[in-house]
């Protein structure tokens, strides 16, 4: 008996898929706030590598702790970003990033469709979009998303005997070598192999298949060692947080962030997580839990990962799509033919309704992230760097954490930064005893200023850490410092001394333009 829904004609399937992917593409299309992202440093990493043919292995860009050891685990991504930016510009880089995300979406959609049907895959693909587009900044992790999608698709192809062991061994080995040099999540490729190994052990009980998965896992582990940092590079995913002295938002839990920021995405994740759990009810009811080992292990791992760090919400959204589509399909098999027809109509109508509703939410999506839809950089984001370079302002620079990547891109090697957005590249003591206290305590500030003799303060204005705004207010009111540049992104202050006298006379901003908002 055919338990599937009546198939939609091929033309209409492709049309609906095209609409879905265009919609997802619009969610991904956001201009880059270059002053507060890591992208500038990634591009500079690529430039430095192509000049010296070896990835940097120390802090390198900072004058405070230049020799502090740091594994540049995403050096390969830097090379790709640099070459793309140089050849097709920031707009081209944005477009490339969107294409990679849509390709990732496609692989997970195909797995969902093959394990269930088009109707269910389409419905849950729409529901996944708000989660998978929560991190639309251009980051190295896009390669991890894509490779997870490729691995997941190929492993299911192998499980269903649609691809040979030799083919998957060669393909995934090459991908693993690439992955270990692109992003720290390369360890997730090994995890996926382990999941399918457990599935074959518990369900298939096929010794030959178990040996093949085990061999595949061993080969991919060996492939991980083909990186410039060797054993240290392989261990980086397990050791990177041991020396992490700065709390960053993306590594905080959903509950932690939800208490402080009432963003709809956190509630939406909880809703989607609940749907995922409910989708297992039919499997449990039929007492066939052992036949869903892969979805169950993936839900446990990526669900826990998402609850633990909000940076993992897109990962959960991607796996939500095939997991819930597959579980729902098996549950619907319990229903009568008449009920299945009713469900078919309901799923179709709900999908169309959600698709239209999602289109209306596009504007809210951009306001939520304070972004502007489009490609390339935010308007006039380069103006402060242009001002700094044209006036040949001298260092040392004191800058905040957020703007480090921006300064590295525009000012290195002529100027090095005080700090940048890599907690693993600085000692815990630097953040705990220097960077944060100097913004909270005037005595510490004077001592550190005396040590480095700062000539300029270059700050990202929208740094909302508890210490940043009070520090900026103090410096603006400080007679030793003169604000000379401000725009929508940054603030530059010069120390009142002989070498800055001319610039201060030309550009000093009146105190009246600055207002303190409570």
Domain edges within the chain: 10-30+71-368, 383-513
Q: What is the mean pLDDT of residues 260-289?
A: 84
Instruction: Choose the weakest-confidence range: 140-154, 309-323, 384-398, 501-515.
Output: 501-515
What is the spatial distance between Cα 173 and Cα 156, in angstroms, rounded to a whole number? 17
CA torsion sign for 79, 84, 85, 91 is: negative
pLDDT of residue 368: 47
In a 3-state reduction of DSSP, which class is residue 361? Answer: coil
User: Residue for token digits 């959204």?
Assistant: 317
Model pLDDT, residue 244: 74
pLDDT band at 308 (very low <50, low <70, confident <90, very high): very high
Which of these, 286, 364, 332, lies nearest to 130 by C-alpha position? 364
Confidence of residue 373 (pLDDT cuts 50, 70, 90): confident
Q: Residue 64: what pLDDT?
A: 94
Average pLDDT, the chain: 89
For residue 417, the cross-strand partners are 62
Confidence of residue 369 (pLDDT cuts 50, 70, 90): very low
Torsion angle of C-alpha atoms 461, 466, 469, 474, degrees rounded to 10? -140
Cis peptide before 396 (omega within 30 of 0): yes
* pLDDT in the model for residue 273: 96
What is the pLDDT, as a whole number, of residue 242? 72
Of all residues in the chain, the percent with pLDDT exceeding 70 is: 94
What 3-state class would DSSP assign to 303?
helix
Q: Which of 257, 261, 20, 230 is nearest to 118 (CA)?
A: 20
Distance of CA 294 to the CA centre of its chain: 24
CA angle in degrees (0–180, nearest 5) for 188-191-192: 95
pLDDT reported for residue 169: 96
Report how far residue 377's alpha carbon sits from residue 222's, in angstroms, rounded to the nearest whole number: 40
Distances (CA, A) of 401 to 35, 75, 408, 422: 11, 21, 12, 8
**pLDDT tier at 14 (50, 70, 90 boundaries)?**
confident
What pLDDT is stored for residue 407 in this prediction? 97
Question: How confident is the model over 140-163, as a mean pLDDT?
Answer: 95
Cis? peptide before 413, omega within 30° of 0: yes
CA distances from 200 to 23, 206, 313 (A): 37, 7, 28
Look up residue 2 and give its two tokens.
């055919």
Q: How many CB atoms lie within 10 A of CB 300?
A: 10
Phi–psi pair at 492, nearest 5 degrees: -120, 130
Region 149-171 average pLDDT = 95
Task: Give yes or no for residue 298 having a pLDDT over 80.
Answer: yes
**223-266, pLDDT tens digit by residue?**
999 999 998 889 888 887 777 767 777 888 899 888 888 788 89
The tokens of 344 are what?
Answer: 């078919």
Instruction: Please determine, for residue 165, whether its predicted confidence score (pLDDT) is greater than 60.
Output: yes
Q: Would the pTM of this model clear 0.85, i.e. be above it? A: yes
Residue entry with tokens 């390198």:
60
Query: Strand, helix or coil at 293?
Result: helix
Dist. CA 350–CA 338, nearest whole Å: 18
Here the tokens at position 235 are: 């261990």
Kindly tell me if the per-residue pLDDT of 363 is higher than 70.
no
Backbone conformation region of residue 279, classed left if phi is above 0, alpha if psi is from -120 to 50, else beta: alpha
What was the pLDDT predicted at 365? Answer: 58
Q: Which residue has the tokens 């040392």?
A: 396
pLDDT the model gives residue 1: 34
- Work out the angle between the directed axes of helices 118-132 and 313-332 (0-180°, nearest 10): 160
Using CA atoms, how far residue 140 sits from 75, 100, 181, 202, 498, in Å, is 9, 11, 10, 35, 44
- Count how many residues are written for the chain: 518
Position 2 confidence tier, pLDDT thresholds 50, 70, 90 = very low
**Among candidates 211, 200, 55, which has minimal Cα distance to 140?**
55
Confidence of residue 3 (pLDDT cuts 50, 70, 90): very low
CB burial of residue 164 (10 Å; 0-12, 13-18, 19+): exposed
pLDDT digit string, tens, across residues 408-447: 999 999 999 999 988 888 999 999 999 999 999 999 999 9
């Amino acid at each position: 008996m055919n338990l599937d829904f009546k198939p939609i004609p091929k033309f209409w399937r492709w049309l609906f898929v095209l609409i879905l992917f265009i919609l997802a593409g619009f969610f991904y299309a956001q201009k880059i706030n270059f002053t507060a992202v890591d992208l500038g440093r990634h591009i500079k990493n690529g430039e430095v590598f192509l000049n010296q043919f070896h990835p940097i292995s120390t802090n390198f860009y900072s004058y405070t702790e230049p020799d502090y050891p740091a594994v540049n685990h995403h050096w390969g991504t830097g090379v790709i970003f640099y070459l793309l930016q140089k050849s097709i510009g920031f707009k081209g880089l944005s477009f490339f990033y969107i294409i990679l995300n849509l390709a990732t979406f496609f692989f997970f959609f195909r797995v969902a469709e093959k394990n269930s049907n088009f109707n269910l895959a389409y419905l849950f693909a729409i529901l996944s979009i708000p989660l998978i587009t929560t991190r639309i900044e251009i980051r190295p992790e896009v390669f991890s998303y894509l490779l997870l999608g490729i691995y997941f698709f190929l492993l299911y192809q192998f499980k269903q005997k649609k691809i040979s062991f030799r083919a998957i061994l060669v393909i995934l080995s090459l991908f693993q070598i690439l992955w270990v040099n692109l992003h720290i999540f390369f360890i997730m490729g090994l995890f996926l192999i382990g999941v399918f190994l457990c599935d074959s052990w518990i369900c298939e009980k096929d010794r030959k298949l178990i040996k093949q998965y085990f061999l595949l896992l061993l080969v991919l582990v060996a492939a991980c060692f083909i990186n410039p940092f060797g054993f240290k590079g392989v261990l980086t995913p397990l050791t990177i947080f041991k020396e992490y002295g700065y709390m960053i938002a993306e590594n905080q839990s959903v509950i932690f962030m939800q208490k402080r920021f009432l963003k709809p995405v956190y509630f939406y994740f909880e809703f989607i997580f609940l749907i995922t759990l409910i989708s297992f009810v039919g499997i449990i009811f039929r007492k066939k839990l052992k036949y869903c080992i892969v979805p169950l292990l993936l839900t446990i791992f990526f669900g826990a990962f998402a609850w633990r760090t909000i940076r993992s919400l897109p990962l959960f959204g991607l796996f939500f799509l095939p997991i819930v589509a597959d579980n729902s399909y098996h549950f619907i098999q319990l229903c009568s033919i008449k009920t299945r027809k009713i469900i078919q109509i309901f799923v179709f109508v709900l999908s169309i309704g959600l698709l239209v509703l999602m289109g209306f939410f596009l504007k809210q999506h951009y306001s939520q992230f304070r972004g502007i839809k489009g490609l390339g950089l935010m308007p006039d984001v380069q103006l402060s760097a242009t001002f700094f370079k044209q006036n040949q302002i001298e260092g040392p620079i004191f800058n905040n954490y957020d703007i480090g990547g921006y300064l590295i891109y525009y000012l290195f090697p002529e100027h090095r930064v005080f700090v940048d957005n890599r907690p693993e590249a600085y000692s815990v003591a630097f953040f705990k005893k220097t960077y944060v206290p100097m913004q909270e305590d005037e005595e510490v500030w004077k001592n550190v200023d005396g040590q480095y003799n700062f000539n300029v303060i270059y700050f990202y204005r929208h740094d909302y850490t508890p210490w940043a705004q009070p520090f900026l207010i103090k410096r603006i009111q400080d007679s030793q410092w003169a604000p000379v540049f401000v725009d929508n992104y940054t603030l530059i202050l010069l120390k009142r001394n002989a070498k800055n006298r001319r610039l201060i006379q030309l550009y000093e901003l009146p105190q009246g333009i600055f207002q303190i908002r409570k």
